[in-house]
Amino acid sequence: MPTEKEMKQAEVAYKNLCKMLDNRGWSYSKHNDDHAITCSATGDDLPIDITIDIHEENSLIIFKSLVARMPEEKLAEGALAVNVLNSSIINGVFEIDFGNGNIYFRLVTSFRDSLISQEVYDYVLACSCVTVDKFNDKLPKLANGEMTLGELYNYAQTCWDN
């Protein structure tokens, strides 16, 4: 259970998160009881569905987005893929739920006892959207067999060059 202090910090973090989205002029749904918001962004190709959750007990800002779903027979390939991507990025994580094959992108940062600027909220959103946008067309292609793991590996090694 979060302490009163952790709850207060989470409340501040949630307000700052909403302020950042308001400043950007984004439309989003508030889930005040959970200190979470959901929204959608337009990437270069596919839309990006976003959940940003303020985790009270651990004092964390958690960005999460569903990127693809691997079929059951391709779960091992999905595991290789998330490791390929995670080894190519500085921040954030691609993770696979072996229960249903869903691949998510998650980016987490802590606000524990700290004064976190609007820039951090901006960064979490921008960095996450850019990373998801790089790969949200590639992972579904891997899932449906239009792309090989080798092609994904090569793309992951070069996609940050420009």
Q: Which stretch binds another protein (CB under 8 A): 24-32, 36-44, 59-67, 140-148?
A: 59-67
Q: Which stretch binds another protein (CB under 8 A): 19-27, 38-46, 55-63, 135-143?
A: 55-63
Q: Which stretch binds another protein (CB under 8 A): 26-34, 42-50, 72-80, 135-143?
A: 72-80
| Residue 120 CB, nearest approach to another protein (Å) | 5
Residues 87-106 that bind another protein (CB under 8 A): 87, 90-91, 93, 95-98
| Spatial separation of the C-alpha atoms in residues 161 and 46, rounded to whole Å | 22
| Spatial separation of the C-alpha atoms in residues 102 and 143, rounded to whole Å | 10
Closest CA to 59 of 11, 102, 101: 11
Q: Residue 129: what residue type? A: C
- Does 123 bind another protein (CB under 8 A)? Our answer is yes
| Spatial separation of the C-alpha atoms in residues 38 and 53, rounded to whole Å | 9
Rule CB under 8 A: choose which of 58, 101, 137, 155 binds another protein: 58
Torsion of CA 11, 14, 15, 17, to 10 degrees: 160
Point out which residues bind another protein (CB under 8 A).
Answer: 55, 58-60, 62, 75-76, 78-80, 82-84, 86-87, 90-91, 93, 95-98, 108-120, 123-124, 153
